[in-house]
Structure 1
């Protein structure tokens, strides 16, 4: 058991919230947001603001010689979705190695979660990877009496990713096993995830956020939400995607920008558009936009064809029950998608990532 000792409050500057865009003080704790929380209702005027308060990809990091620790938190339940329910976890890594994946209580009350013995030397880098599909408030980190603690100051190439619910982590068993987290860990990238379940529609405010965040690599996996909600059509999808890229380029004129279409979907790929864009047509128009931008002189924008990442052979790797509406990969699918996306990044931006 961890002896009573020092409490590091959630707003203590010794804690770094990597992957967070803004931090909100809530009832004595800190809620990490992936948009500027003061402007949250401008980002989601139609509702669904809380999706950006689900801290997928966010890590609370610090250095310590403590032999054990605990953290205080409050978490909300994940939203109801087709398929099996999600279980909230915090994953603990020490010096980059997994130590524990801890299930959380999601009743909105403050709880304490204890971590066992921490391996490694006297100056360990501790990372607490927060849940991807639950709103979360950190109320502090408990360390044994006399333990030293310091700020995490390491640097790595900064990767900003924009996507939908699968990028947010639906179907992954824990935060570090989300495909984006796996890619970031394997390639040594500092991830900021702007993945918003049921909210990836090429909105102008997300374009300006992608523009304004520091980034050495920007990736977008687009199309499924637009197709599913019939949000854009054959006249509006291409100009909106062009606009997204041109806004990003205002402050990232030469940053590698990789735009991927959605991978194969066994339920949706065979369907025709019936007056709207089919998933196949969305992919075709995505490729056309990237070709157009490259022809216009943007040599650092790249297209990745979704089915080349995961094709029909992956039709059984979904969390939703068979014969329903399979949209989200299970853990095996996340692992496959991570490996395929990682290979593409090594191919397209070899000078940035470690292979």
Structure 2
């Protein structure tokens, strides 16, 4: 049975949230977004809308003596026609930086997606509650990391002691942009996505703009990165451009330059790291698009296949090898004038030997163990004393 608590309800305001760039007022509460409203308006795409509203890296952060915390939310669950049900999104509670609880909200809306036709249907449902109990009764920093892969409308925060915004600990802010792999794909929980693993090991504040299916060098994303305060910036570029078959070399290389130019307008001296794609065998030498392998969907497995023709690389179609070569060349060229620009080959985070040991279950996305490995490797290499984001990195 639950102890009787005298609940205090605290308004859900921006000063309690980290990792969100915009808070949309809704009928029942607030919806955190990872792209501002003006950027979302420039291309009202279903995949982008879903990705940027999934609060990867977004957390409630406060200081309190509370021993019990309740959060009411209205999540949006995803179902794929013909595929097995997806697990509920995971909320993770950290006390003074250490994992102290996990939970889920069963209720909420349901978005049913038909991978064969691309259609989607939204069914609305009620809000639910995730509860954390038995916390120590002294002053502490509490973080509730929201599910990285489940759109989450925040309805109410209740505690049995008053809540204050957490003080600024003076940690460097790391702004990261990438694809579904950076978004968190098949990680086990929101603190298990590789950027969160790396940020925790390095002691930095993460703002994660990993956007599943949507790291497409969009100018509005570059302007968002330009306008977001940050001490360190990294960009993981390539897999989405290939698997969307979005551009050829002729468009890709100038788009990369333009993306970097825009970020530099707002952050002229910030350490800026370009990371090329991790190993993905289906696209190393075969262009996109990638498509769901509908043959395997009926036996409950979602897998992806590359639909392009390797012969078309001669005509400028992109593969991961082509992308890595172009990114290395662009960064080497620009670094002559830009001493704070760096390059990391994604194969140093996950390459052939890793794939032998930890293959990509759906041919595209890393699993939970691989997220941890990529996060640890990134922290070791990039936040090392001599790394791009090392303590000696320009501030």
Distance change in 2, residues 1:175/1:139 (3 Å)? same
- Superposed CA RMSD: 2.0
TM-score (norm 1): 0.91
- The structure 2 residue matched to 1:343, chosen from 354, 374, 380, is 380
Q: 1:307 matched to which residue of 2?
A: 347
Per-residue Cα deviation, 1:164-215 (whole angstroms, up to 9, x for no partner):
1011111100000011111111111111111111111111001111100000
Structure 2 unaligned segments of length 5 or more: list them: 110-125, 287-309
Per-residue Cα deviation, 1:235-271 (whole angstroms, up to 9, x for no partner):
1111110111111111111100011011111222243
- The structure 2 residue matched to 1:183, chosen from 198, 214, 220, is 198
- Are residues 1:134 and 2:171 paired? no
Q: Which 4+ residue blocks in structure 1 deviate beyond 6 angstroms?
A: 81-84
Distance change in 2, residues 1:106/1:287 (3 Å)? farther
Asked if the contact 1:84–1:319 (Cα under 8 Å) also holds between the matched residues in 2, the reply is no
Distance change in 2, residues 1:262/1:141 (3 Å)? same
Count residues in correspondence: 343
Distance change in 2, residues 1:84/1:181 (3 Å)? farther
- Are residues 1:123 and 2:139 paired? yes
Larger mean CA deviation between 3-12 and 180-189 belongs to 3-12
Q: 2:167 matched to which residue of 1?
A: 153
Distance change in 2, residues 1:4/1:184 (3 Å)? same
Asked if the contact 1:265–1:312 (Cα under 8 Å) also holds between the matched residues in 2, the reply is no
Structure 1 unaligned segments of length 5 or more: list them: none
Distance, in Å, in 2 between the alignment partners of 1:156 and 1:273 is 48
Deviation at 1:123, TM superposition (A): 1.1
- Are residues 1:203 and 2:218 paired? yes
Alignment of structure 1 residues 1-355 onto 2, 5 Å: 1-12=2-13, 16-37=16-37, 39-42=39-42, 44-48=43-47, 49-78=49-78, 80=80, 85-108=86-109, 109-119=126-136, 122-144=138-160, 147-154=161-168, 155-271=170-286, 272=310, 274-275=312-313, 276-295=317-336, 297-315=337-355, 317-318=358-359, 320-321=361-362, 326-346=363-383, 347-351=387-391
Distance change in 2, residues 1:166/1:47 (3 Å)? same
Distance change in 2, residues 1:79/1:170 (3 Å)? farther
Deviation at 1:41, TM superposition (A): 2.3
Distance, in Å, in 1 between the alignment partners of 2:87 and 2:250 is 37
Distance change in 2, residues 1:106/1:200 (3 Å)? farther
Asked if the contact 1:200–1:225 (Cα under 8 Å) also holds between the matched residues in 2, the reply is yes
Asked if the contact 2:57–2:207 (Cα under 8 Å) also holds between the matched residues in 1, the reply is yes
Distance change in 2, residues 1:84/1:335 (3 Å)? farther
Deviation at 1:3, TM superposition (A): 2.6
- Say which SS state the counterpart of residue 139 (structure 1) adopts: strand
Per-residue Cα deviation, 1:66-108 (whole angstroms, up to 9, x for no partner):
1122111110113649898353011000000100111221533
Distance change in 2, residues 1:95/1:310 (3 Å)? same
